[in-house]
Amino acid sequence: MEAVRKTQPQDPAPPTGDAVAPPKLTIEKFADGAISCLKFNGTIDEAFEGKKIARSIQANTLVLDLGGVKKISSFGIREWVDFVTTAVKQVQQLVLIECAPKVVDQLNMVANFAGGGRVFSFYAPFRCDYCDSEQRVLLEVSKDYEAIKGMKLADRPCPSCKESMYFDEDGSTYFSFILSQGAFELDPELVSFLAAKLDYRVGTIDQKLHIDKVIEGRVTYLRLSGDLNNTFPRDKLAEGLEGTVIVDLTNVPRVEPAGAAEWRGFILQVTPLIEQMFLVGVQTPFLEKLCNKDDIGAKGAVLDFSLPYVCKSCGASGAQVIHTAEHHDVLKFATAPELRCTSCKAAMQCTASEVVMTMLPSLPKPTPSKELERQVGMLKARKFEKKLSAGLSSAMPHRERRTPVWPIVMMTLVVVGLAGAAAYFFMFREERETGPYGHGPVAARSQLAKPAWIRANATPGAAYCSEDGGGLSCIGVSMPSASQEDAEDEASDAAIESIAFELGKRITDKQWLAAVPPLYLPARDSKLAAMNRDPQSTQARRDVRDGRRAVALALRGVSASPSGRYWEAFDGREGRRYVAFVQVKLSPADAQRLIASYTKQHEAFGAVSVAFFPELAWKFPKVSRGALIMSLQAGGIQELGIAEHSVVTSVDGRDTPDAESFAKIINEERDVLDERGGALRLLVQADGGDPREFSQTFAGKQETTDEKGHKRHGRHGHSGTSGGLNIWDRAGGNHSGGRDDPTQ
């Protein structure tokens, strides 16, 4: 995409008479789930309260739209650096888009101006001498990087007079920051967010529709990403569909007329073939155009959809997910549900169009089972590996037609290959057979016959579970190992890890499903996929073994113990190798108890936490227990700079094995510090690396004597409010707190 815009005036016109001067800087906020965007327009100066705004951010991904920034003063630069430095601690990813030339200049000159974030798109200044105008051309690092590396952009036609205009900067200077950060691609979820919220189109005029497909039992899950247009492959998608179909439309921001027609044809084709169809993540354009009864079919229903809301109190706006079954009694009257702002708790107002509101009464009330709801939550949280484009082969260079000599060459190669194979066979015919796993035949086994609880097709490295009267029976299989003991330990870890994974699949709490599985599923899926692709890879096998071991350690104390063991030994060229099989069972009562303990929420100083779920050890291998910060509101934990999805492992040296102990200990420590003073220290594990300490100093009560000799107590270094921890330095003054404060 290339967008051309005229340069805007630097400052607004001064007010006249009694007119009120417009604000120098306006910030619009857009949010949807884990993604938030701040859109800046105007001048950034000393009035910009960067730290205050940054601390209010609650998102995994933060997008900064800087196309409207006209000027940045010297003091504004200072405030901006404070803003991005604080914001990057609150989020997992920071992306800058549509950076104005003024912003690009500062990126090139000011250290840490991006705060560790990455620039995806920026404006380059162009000039037309023919009509004496200045223009801006939007560039993206994903598609324009080769031109950027050349440091000189090609001339472009002027949008005003159609004459040629040229790049009006020195490329080596203007592109220095962009070249230092390199190129990257945006996640599909972020692309859809930008298209829906900002009408921002990434890469091309239309997003090519991409479809991921997963089949689990009698459920087929289809995830659509991109614009619904004439490229929708209805015939291929409909072929073979049966059972229950889940269509995830979270990443479909636009519906074109041709795409709507293809969708209706798809519904006509599949309705006779399937049992039921549920639509999830339905965005406003799809809801407006394709949610009539004829559009979703007699067997279709919308599980959840998004409606735009705005908070009149704090100005926050964004799409809110509405569950049809939960709010059906309200929706049937063409009324939006009453929702509260997650930031200030004030009532929000739905801003959906009248057309969208008239669609709500026609939505049938879905009746999915609890198991299906759980399955949908897990599937929506799953990450899919990127595939090569189907059109890649057609884009390959055309090869010349083979000459008549080619068959002769092929025949020669076949003869040589057969001769080599024959020689190899006679050279090694005296060796032992490879055996079932490539390490020779079975030389010994722990018992005469393989137990019935082992599947016939169980392979090294596998792990699987089955229902056991409401409980679980899980089997783990080791990779070939030189030690019987090591093989049995590996198999035991694999079985216990499977128990943890199955427990996660049984959890139905919506808040937990939205926050916890997205943390561990990508790490788990990628490591298992790497081992499945190349079982001989030492690194891939080690990653899976270490991950399972970390999960098993985190699940210690569970009332699950091996109920069956079996091993086989194989003699091959590398010596003796062992493959072990271990069965572990978990009772129904213990399964329910564990699920309750992992999902119970505790709140303390603005932080809602749950116990560390064992599967999180795939992401946090150094942690086996602690309190996972599931969400943050305004309060002391947020002010310390601790981000959501971090794990608190201790408070002032006292271990916090779970969320309940964390809430109890931090309340106890806070009471003592309020009375006596001292430092409060939290040890926290974030995404990677070593745990980090966050601290805050309290002055405590100070004893004084009045003019009558009576003793009085006062507080120094404390605001006296109950809204959470307040950050104070050792001299009693207020400071920003966090990880890099030199006073701590």
pLDDT of amino acid 271 = 92
User: Please, which residues have CB within 8 angstroms of residue 520's CB and are 6 or more apart in sequence?
Assistant: 613, 615, 616, 617, 618, 619
pLDDT of amino acid 609 = 92
Separation CA 472–CA 412 (nearest Å): 58
- 563 vs 199, which has greater pLDDT? 563
Range in 111-125, 169-183, 547-561, 649-663 with the lowest mean pLDDT: 547-561
Q: Taking Cα atoms as reference points, which of 178, 180, 197, 181 lies closest to residue 189?
A: 197
Band of pLDDT at residue 19, cut at 50, 70 and 90: very low
Residue 721 has pLDDT above 70, yes or no: no
* Bridge partners for 163 per DSSP: none
Separation CA 503–CA 614 (nearest Å): 10
Separation CA 398–CA 121 (nearest Å): 34
What is the rounded average pLDDT for all residues in the chain?
80
Strand 4-6 to strand 133-140: parallel, antiparallel, or no bridges (unpaired)? antiparallel
Q: How many CB atoms lie within 10 A of CB 225?
A: 22
pLDDT digit string, tens, across residues 401-429: 333 444 544 555 555 555 555 444 444 44
The three state secondary structure string of 677-705 is CEEEEEEEECCCCCCEEEEEEECCEEEEE
pLDDT digit string, tens, across residues 43-65: 999 889 889 999 888 889 999 99
Tokens of 313: 């109190």
Considering only CA atoms, give the Rg of the chain: 31
Residue 715 has pLDDT above 50, yes or no: no
Residue 15 has pLDDT above 80, yes or no: no
The hierarchical CATH code for the domain 206-370 is 3.30.750.24
Instruction: Give the long-range contacts of residues 669-676, CB within 8 A, separation 24 or more.
Output: 670/605, 670/725, 673/698, 673/700, 674/698, 674/700, 674/701, 674/715, 674/718, 675/700, 675/701, 676/700, 676/701
Residue 376 has pLDDT above 70, yes or no: yes
| Of the options 3.30.750.24, 3.30.2320.20, 3.90.550.10, 3.40.50.300, the CATH number for the domain spanning 4-13+22-192 | 3.30.750.24
- Spell out the domain ranges in the chain: 4-13+22-192, 206-370, 442-593, 600-613+623-715
Residue 215 has pLDDT above 60, yes or no: yes
pLDDT mean over 679-697? 80
Model's pTM, two decimal places?
0.44
pLDDT of amino acid 719 = 36
Instruction: Determine the residue type at 660.
Output: E
Kindly provide the residue ranges of all beta strands, DSSP E only, lying in 522-643, ordered along the sequence: 561-572, 575-586, 602-604, 607-611, 627-632
pLDDT digit string, tens, across residues 234-268: 888 888 889 999 999 988 888 888 888 899 999 99
Residue 575 has pLDDT above 50, yes or no: yes
Separation CA 309–CA 323 (nearest Å): 15
pLDDT of amino acid 385 = 53
300-302, strands of its sheet edge to edge: 210-216, 219-225, 244-251, 276-280, 300-302
CA–centroid distance for 384 within its chain? 12
Percent of the chain residues topping a pLDDT of 70: 81
Percent of the chain residues topping a pLDDT of 90: 35
pLDDT digit string, tens, across residues 484-507: 989 998 999 999 999 999 999 999
Separation CA 225–CA 215 (nearest Å): 18
Tokens of 739: 């990880």
Quickly list H helices, 117-187. Answer: 145-149, 171-174, 176-181
| Of the options 3.40.50.280, 3.40.30.10, 3.20.20.70, 2.30.42.10, the CATH number for the domain spanning 600-613+623-715 | 2.30.42.10
pLDDT of amino acid 217 = 84
CA–centroid distance for 678 within its chain? 38
- 405 vs 685, which has greater pLDDT? 685
Separation CA 495–CA 473 (nearest Å): 9
pLDDT digit string, tens, across residues 281-335: 999 889 988 998 888 999 999 999 999 888 888 777 778 899 999 999 999 999 9
Q: Tokens 């490295």 identify what position? A: 461
Separation CA 31–CA 319 (nearest Å): 7
pLDDT of amino acid 384 = 64
pLDDT mean over 381-408? 43
Q: Taking Cα atoms as reference points, which of 507, 203, 233 lies closest to residue 378?
A: 507
Fold: same for 4-13+22-192 and 206-370: yes
